[in-house]
Structure 1
Amino acid sequence: MEKILHKNLYVNGINMHIAEIGEGPAVLFLHGFPELWYSWRHQMLSLSSKGYRTIAPDLRGYGDTDVPPYATSYTAFHIVGDLVALLDALGLDQAFLVGHDWGAVMAWYFCLFRPDRIKALVNTSVVFHPRSPSRKPVPSLRARFGDDYYICRFQEPGEAEEEFARVDTARLIKKFLICRQAGPLCVPKEVGFGGSPDTIITLPSWLSEEDVNVYATKFEQTGFTGGLNYYRAMDLNWELTAPWTGVQIKVPVKFIVGDLDLTYNTAGVKEYIHSGTFKKFVPFLQEVVVMEGVAHFIQQEKPEEVSQHIFDFIQKF
């Protein structure tokens, strides 16, 4: 870990922190919520030892990267703009792309907007959802899962932040990272995201107190608004991406998901993946891997296996 280099670059109007190690073809890693570049530490060390230059930014709103205050600054165009500018600043024409959670969503957008910059994509956890021409995402989720669905609970600026502030940050991080609810995450206000403070949380073998403290320390400094703004920009993304309705993802893709991931167990997702519909929208989808007994934070829970899956795919190109 001490060999990983850290630098700050001015890209697309913001200061962005990146972690980097290795030399060779570039692999760009995109983290999700509530995470940091640190989520990819295992994959960076593994792939850099195999001849790759691994790069993991703190995305806009996270960690040591700037945190614009308003949700309107967190559209897919802002995030992909940051990443294209990052490749430019690093002198890279192309890179392999790896995403997880919101990083996976932004990886799909990256390939939609600028496929010329991506050699191949390994995406985890979140499938490509083609844009519905008639339904905005948040009202659709509210109608389907109710007001307690976590994405709906995140929409009102300041509300989730106030709730999070009442919970110890390390406890909140633990609750998110080790959640193994295989299905829609609904959190009534009377229960709260922290759960009962009397409940003891036992960490799994793949997550240490030291790891938790890396996240907790940064989120105590920055707050959660940056990460929550990705959710708050969902309907705006829908409005702005109307010209891309029906456009396919035209880069080579490998998709990896855990069979206990709440995204995989959302109604209709398994059928979408395995019926061939997913491949209709992602025609160069070459592999789908469903890892048994693994939940949402797959790259941390099964680091060696995920690193090997990434390497097995990108070495073909």
Structure 2
Amino acid sequence: MEQIQHNFVTVRGLKFHVAEIGTGSNVVVFLHGFPEIWYTWRHQMVAVADSGFRAIAPDYRGYGLSDIPPEPEKTTFADIVADLVAILDHLGVNKVFLVGKDFGVRPAYHFALHHPDRVFAVITLGVPYLPPEPPKFHQPLPEGFYISRWREPGRAEADFGRFDAKTVVRNIYILFSRSEIPIAAENQEIMDLVDASTPLPPWFTEEDLAAYGALYEKSGFRTALQVPYRSFEEDFGITDPIVKVPALLIMGCKDYVFKFPGIEEYIKFGKAKELVPGLDIIYLPEGTHFVQEQSPELVNGLILDFLKSHI
């Protein structure tokens, strides 16, 4: 961890925090989800650097140590992709492996769709590639489904605002580590689904929580609620949704995302591979939504095997 360097890159009018380690000519870019920041990739960054790769993990705009945009509510997924292009151009990096987790899967694949000549391969964790259209998985779920609640302007702000940032991250890590979809009752908020006495997952330490909490104290949650939760309807103008680079999906069998209506069938019965013909899928029987932190040595091995086979 100590050998990871922390730099700042100013592009597109904002200063971005970029964690880096390694000096190899082959570059691996790690894209975080929510409630994560670069820190979620700490184990993987060291592992790939030790194997001769250069690892880069930016904080998105409005996340971690990166600048908050002037109008967070206008942030889009397209901004995330354009920011990544600009960061890589600034660093002089022409072609990369992309590793995306949770909503980081979307910018990873859209980068690959728009810039296939700049991508060796894509690895995703916890979420498959979904076609570039508004998702429908939430429609059969109750009103208290966490994404539906967080898409509602002001609802999550009021819910989160009752607690400090560290407690919000704690509660979300606990919720997202379970195998059931977080759904609140009509008279509940999402934060009420976690009791104050509930322990952290055994693989997530108080030190880890403090690192996340400090960064979200700085950034707040305004941009994080906009992207991903309030930007799912975004139109990318993509006419050909077929991904033409090799890809790997690492999916924990106890990941609550598997319970989203239609997702398990989509992954297991061919549709995912129709859109990503070069896709391999690996299932981790005990894996939850945070497999990269829950089982770092196992995930590191899978990532490195895939990277080495596509150099």
TM (normalized to structure 2)?
0.93
- 1:173 CA drift (Å): 1.4
Q: Deviations over 1:41-73 (max 9, x none)?
A: 000111111111101011112011112254554
| Distance change (3 Å), C-alpha of 1:201 and 1:120 | same
Alpha-carbon separation, structure 1, partners of 2:70 and 2:143: 25
Alpha-carbon separation, structure 1, partners of 2:32 and 2:174: 16
Q: Deviations over 1:175-222 (max 9, x none)?
A: 212334324322236332322775412123311101001111111222
Q: CA RMSD in A?
A: 1.8
Paired residue type of 1:264: F
Paired residue type of 2:117: D
Q: Which residue of 2 aligns with 1:232?
A: 230
Q: Deviations over 1:4-43 (max 9, x none)?
A: 1111101222210010011111110000101110000000
Paired residue type of 2:165: T
Of 190, 194, 199, 2:191 maps to: 194
Task: List runs of 5+ in structure 2 lacking aligned partners.
Answer: none
Alpha-carbon separation, structure 2, partners of 1:156 and 1:40: 30
- 1:294 matched to 2:287: yes
Identity of aligned residues (%): 38
Q: Deviations over 1:202-252 (max 9, x none)?
A: 1233111010011111112221111111111111x1xx22x3144201111
Q: Which residue of 1 aligns with 2:153?
A: 157
Which moved further from structure 2: 168-177 or 92-101?
168-177
Paired residue type of 2:121: A
Paired residue type of 1:148: G
Paired residue type of 1:102: F
| Distance change (3 Å), C-alpha of 1:247 and 1:196 | closer
Alpha-carbon separation, structure 2, partners of 1:247 and 1:221: 37
Q: Which residue of 2 aligns with 1:78?
A: 79
| Distance change (3 Å), C-alpha of 1:109 and 1:189 | farther
- Whether the 8 Å contact between 2:40 and 2:292 is mirrored in structure 1 is yes
- Whether the 8 Å contact between 1:94 and 1:116 is mirrored in structure 2 is yes
Q: Number of paired residues?
A: 307
Q: Which residue of 2 aligns with 1:255?
A: 249
Paired residue type of 1:10: T
| Distance change (3 Å), C-alpha of 1:18 and 1:245 | same
Q: Which residue of 2 aligns with 1:22?
A: 22
Of 158, 171, 175, 1:175 maps to: 171
- 1:10 matched to 2:10: yes
- Whether the 8 Å contact between 1:149 and 1:186 is mirrored in structure 2 is yes
Task: List runs of 5+ in structure 1 lacking aligned partners.
Answer: none
Q: SS at 2:105's partner residue?
A: helix
- 1:168 CA drift (Å): 3.7
- 1:282 matched to 2:283: no
- Whether the 8 Å contact between 1:28 and 1:55 is mirrored in structure 2 is yes
Q: SS at 1:244's partner residue?
A: coil
Q: Which residue of 2 aligns with 1:147?
A: 143
Alpha-carbon separation, structure 1, partners of 2:40 and 2:186: 29
- 1:148 CA drift (Å): 1.4
Paired residue type of 1:64: L
- Whether the 8 Å contact between 1:21 and 1:54 is mirrored in structure 2 is yes
Q: Which residue of 2 aligns with 1:114?
A: 115
TM (normalized to structure 1)?
0.91
What is the 5 A alignment of 1:256-275? 256-275=250-269
- 1:253 CA drift (Å): 0.2
